[in-house]
Amino acid sequence: MAEQVKKPKINVREIIGIILIFLLIFAALQFTLQSFRVNGISMETSFHNGQYILVEKLRYHFSSPGRGQAIVFDSPMPPHERLIKRVIGLPGETVEIKKGYIYINGVMLEETPEFAAIPYADDYSVTIPPDHYWVIGDNRANSSGSHVFGPVPRENILGRVWLCYWPPSQWGLSPHYSANIGNVVTASTSVL
């Protein structure tokens, strides 16, 4: 007598459970992380054209962007494209550009050496409204920032750049720079 091979029973509940778990994981990732491609050279040397980055979106639901953090946001000017820039000025502060250097509340912003003075002839001054941030690209000679389109409303900010994942040769955590005003450090170099 030939032995019969038992067919495994398909448990519909298990399949539905597995599908639900995958859907929950997918939804959680969509809420907390988002992938973007860097377009342009405005953030060089920190980020390069064509890099793929992950933006951490959850943090700013519980805290505010800090000076020195790289963020992705919807431009306040048409065509409202997604941009990546670095936060320099915080709500309530006065940002000035004098002879190419940035001042916060009258005190020169001491930045890391790779950021050159802004190559603009005109001086500039703005007091940042509540819930707005003043941003600019790291490649100051080739960047349009808040000095062009104004402070960025908080609701336009999608999240903080967390990780570069492509190309593999440039894989790593996002650089977040300290920015000194006078002798006071105003942001952490923490990347997490």
Q: Is 63 exposed, middle or buried (0-12, 13-18, 19+ CB in 10 A)?
A: exposed
> Which sequence positions are flagged as catalytic?
42, 85
